[in-house]
């Protein structure tokens, strides 16, 4: 829940964050096109929202999806850290 609140403050309550902003803030090594390709290939597991049915429609990420993605990445990092620390203690 905290992540969502921080994102709401960061993006002034916007519900759908444009891909350009998401990439600039969280995927700095990717352009919006590269980000979309990675999502479509299943390499980044976050839904992209189209604002209209048109192929040329603006695209973005829903703020709750971004919060869930960030929280999942944090949980994975914590799990890895705990596994590394417990493996080092057992030596």
Per-residue pLDDT tens for 27-79? Answer: 999 999 999 999 999 999 999 998 887 777 889 999 999 999 999 999 999 99
Sequence spans of domains, the chain: 1-89
Q: Which tokens is 25 given?
A: 């803030």
3-state SS, one letter per residue, for the chain: CHHHHHHHHHCCCCCEEEHHHHHHHHCCCCCHHHHHHHHHCCCCCCCCEECCCCCCCCEEEEHHHHHHHHHHHHHHHHHHHHHHHHHHHCC
As a CATH number, domain 1-89 is 1.10.10
Q: Structure pTM?
A: 0.86
Q: Which residue has the higher pLDDT, 90 or 55?
A: 55
């Amino acid at each position: 829940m905290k992540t969502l609140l921080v994102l709401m403050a960061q993006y002034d309550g916007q519900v759908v964050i444009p891909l350009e902003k998401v990439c600039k803030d969280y995927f700095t090594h990717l352009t919006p096109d590269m980000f979309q390709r990675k999502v479509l290939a299943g390499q980044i597991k976050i839904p992209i929202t189209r604002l209209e049915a048109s192929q040329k429609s603006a695209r973005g990420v829903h703020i709750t999806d971004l919060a869930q993605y960030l929280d999942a990445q944090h949980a994975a990092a914590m799990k890895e850290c705990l596994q590394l620390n417990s493996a080092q203690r057992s030596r």
